[in-house]
Amino acid sequence: MFTPVSPEGESPESRASVLTIRSEEVDAARRLSLCPFTLRFSSGIVSVVIVSREDQQSGMKFLLYLALVRSLLVHGRASWGNVDWDVIIFTQQWPITSCIHHLAQNPKASCNLFPNMTSWTVHGIWPTKLGTIGPNYCNKSWDFQESEILNIEPYLIKYWGNIFGEDSRTSLWSHEWKKHGTCAAQLPSLNSEKKYFEKGLEWVTQYDYVAVLGQHKIYPDDVQTYTREAIFAAVKDMFGVDPSIDCIYNKKTKQHELSQIKLCFDRSLHLVDCDGIIGANEEKVLGNCPFKGITYPASVRTGGKNYHYPHELVELRKQRWEVAQATCVSWLCHALMTVYSLMWITL
């Protein structure tokens, strides 16, 4: 129930009252701002100020509406709390492979390989029940709002960008939030768009696969091939857990191209083995890549431009990542250190 209280500084004779609303009802209250009473916003609390007798009837209608909103929120939150998952799969994709596959499916398509996209990029942060796929779309009423992430959008374009040129800039973010973010939001550390996407930025800068693979002499190269064990070992040696390694088969070149690398986290966001997620093969190495003959593509042509990832850029990223690992305590520090050191390079 809502309990009216006297607004600070007003006498009882004014017949004014204030109704305190919980913070999750702020949006509903804002949408009613044309009602004949005042909404006061302070520190996430909304006060509905009814200032005269004439407002009482409107106020009662508002109370009934707000009670309905509160009931729906409680019901939705209860259903949301029953969603079960075990681990979060943090998936990064190699943009050049993603672009090659996209163009193979539609030769008229194009890719958004931004000049400053010089790393693996985030595909998603996926809460997962072991042995299954999902859950997904845990709160269909929680839409994506770009305004929540505007201050980090330049970094999302670089590290979590939409590679498909035909889609809008925000389409990947919207999809990932609605499908996966609403499930991850069970955790207090991920219970908003900003927290969810900032966690992706934190992890993509901390777990830099260009640098990690480069330290094990695995470079983007259109000719050289690598074994699945070599890629798996490079990641495991660095982070101490079993990753999952995915490839895409290129029918034109008849090569298996390195596509995605996944790390897994428990509900406390500590690294754990990805054992138990869908994708283990007969050799018990996670992912769908073949034993050998894996390419790590360095080049693609899209939009009339050739993109090529040089070995020199790998060496520079290795150096900057090692320095950042030793000195940085935030994802922004990692990002800025890398960006400023790579400004002279264009792909």
Q: 180, 198, 256, 334: which one is catalytic?
A: 180
Calpha distance 5→45 (Å, rounded): 14
Pairing relation of β-strands 45-50 and 221-226? unpaired
Per-residue buried b or exposed e for 252-283, using 16+ beta carbons within 10 Å of the residue's own CB: eeebbbbbbbbbbbeeeeebbbbebbebbeee
Please say whether the beta carbons of 120 and 261 come within 8 A: yes
SS3 content of the chain, % helix, strand, coil (to 5): 40, 20, 35
- Which one is catalytic: 101, 102, 123, 334? 123
For 77, the token pair is: 């939150």
In the structure encoding, which two tokens stand for residue 49, read together? 């100020």
Select which of 101, 102, 176, 256 is catalytic.
Answer: 176
Cα separation, 114 vs 323, in Å, equals: 25
Active-site residue flag, 176: yes
**Residue 202 CB partners (closer than 8 Å, separation 6+):** 330, 331
Q: Would you please indicate which residues are annotated as catalytic (active-site) residues?
A: 123, 176, 180
